[in-house]
Amino acid sequence: MVLEITHIGNPILREICSEVPEDRLLDSDFQEFIDDLIETKRDANGAGIAAPQVGEPWRIFVVEVKDNPRYPYKPQAELTVCVNPKITFLTDLRYANYEGCLSIPDLRGKVPRCPHIRVDALDRHGKPFSREVKGITAGTYQHENDHLDGILFPDRVDDTHSYSTWAEFKLRHEDDVRVAVEAVVKEWGE
Ligand code: ZN
């Protein structure tokens, strides 16, 4: 089922989300919620989605990029469900990631993101996993993880002159951003 997406101004997007208890995670209704979260992300063409974006303040997000029309220049990222995730930065370097958000319609902006992170989380069945994520995909993980702490991308935009509507982005910025993204992917592999 496609769920309704919450928008900026809704206080749920500013909550610190709760860890999902393992017995709750394995409940069939919670597993159904995870299916709905994935379906909602795909329906909205998001690169990722976090539970508070559909009104559920749990520490869970989903990342997946597969021929995404919203982000045609983004590298592919396989479907990953992260429950109770912890992100560790593995470098002091930062790159400028031009972000958008399903909860902030028609706004994009440049956010400094770490290009090499480790994610420690549970999968949807409660099994712990640890993986390193790099480059543009690492930016997506940081954006989604921020949602679990009530942080939205404009909170992290360091150059407010980078704000753009989607139409202006396409018209004036997408070609440059594509070149910048290709450079990050070349250096970090994703
Ligand atoms: Zn978002």
pLDDT band at 69 (very low <50, low <70, confident <90, very high): confident
Domain ranges of the chain: 11-188
For 86, other C-beta atoms within 10 Å of its C-beta total 12
* Mean pLDDT across 74-96: 96
Cα distance between residue 14 and residue 152, in whole Å = 8
| Tokens encoding 189 | 């592999």
How many angstroms separate the alpha carbon of residue 156 from the centre of ligand 1?
A: 12
* Mean pLDDT across 111-133: 98
How many angstroms separate the alpha carbon of residue 46 from the centre of ligand 1?
A: 9
pLDDT digits (tens, 9 = 90+) for 108-121: 999 999 999 999 99
Mean pLDDT of the chain: 96
pLDDT band at 171 (very low <50, low <70, confident <90, very high): very high
- Catalytic machinery residues: 144
What is the model's pLDDT at position 32? 98
How many angstroms separate the alpha carbon of residue 10 from the centre of ligand 1?
A: 13
What letter does residue 74 receive in the DSSP assignment? Answer: S
* 11-188 CATH, one of 3.90.45.10, 3.30.540.10, 3.30.9.100, 3.40.718.10: 3.90.45.10
What is the model's pLDDT at position 74? 85
What is the model's pLDDT at position 70? 82
